[in-house]
Amino acid sequence: MTAFRYALRSASFATAYLVVYLTCTVLPWFPVPALAVAAVWLTAQTGYGNRRLDVVMLATVAMVGATLNGAGLLLCAVAAIVAVLPALLFAVLMQRQLPGFWQGHGDRFRKPRAALVRLAGIAPLAAATGIVLETVADTGFAAAPAALHFAIGTATLFLAPLAVRATRTHSDGPGRPTLTVVR
């Protein structure tokens, strides 16, 4: 990927993340949590080898979003930790447990039910990590909204890879043979 394309993708991610983050602060029941946007971004960028740059960018964008909400320096750092850790956990587990699943690779060697079971384990783990960090960071976080945020986060983290995978596999066309390389 060229530096220009990386900068363009990074700018589009930053815009999408800020829009979702600020919308979630106004509408707490928004169906797409900021965690899902961050996790999708880090997972999509896995193949390019710029993970540390993506993590720094995600932390910076999370700090900007917290600053726009009126947070101070320490609270901005906490917001960055709350944004980065669950998304990074999701991306690393997707890379380790289901390599290539995101793009539809390795399907000849992987049973579909086993892949869905692994994804069903990764999504709630990342969502629970996000809820625990939010609960620790925000002392006024109640139990009922935490359960709802967990359910929304789990559902979006489970459905996002399936949606991207479905769009990626159908874009190749039905008659075109694909080559899968598993490392």
Distance from C-alpha of 61 to C-alpha of 73, rounded to nearest angstrom:
14
Task: Determine which of 101-105, 157-161, 167-171 has the lowest per-residue pLDDT on average.
Answer: 167-171
**Those residues with Cβ within 8 angstroms of residue 48's Cβ, 6 or more apart along the chain or in another chain:** 1, 6
How confident is the model at residue 66, as a pLDDT? 93
- Encode pLDDT of 25-61 as tens digits: 888 778 888 999 999 899 888 777 778 889 999 999 9
Query: Tokens standing for 83?
Result: 């944004």
- Encode pLDDT of 73-97 as tens digits: 999 999 999 999 999 999 999 988 8
* Of 158, 127, 43, 70, nearest in space to 79 by CA: 70
* Of 66, 65, 81, nearest in space to 18 by CA: 65
- Encode pLDDT of 123-167 as tens digits: 999 999 999 998 888 766 667 778 888 999 999 999 988 888 888
Q: Are 126 and 93 in contact (CB under 8 A)?
A: yes
Query: Tokens standing for 92?
Result: 């690393």
Query: Tokens standing for 2?
Result: 């060229």
Cβ–Cβ contacts within 10 Å for residue 83, how many?
Answer: 27
Distance from C-alpha of 129 to C-alpha of 11, rounded to nearest angstrom:
26
Distance from C-alpha of 26 to C-alpha of 20, rounded to nearest angstrom:
10
How confident is the model at residue 159, as a pLDDT? 92
Q: Where are the domains of the chain?
A: 3-169
| pTM of the complete model | 0.84
Residue-wise DSSP of 13-31: HHHHHHHHHHHHHH-TT-S
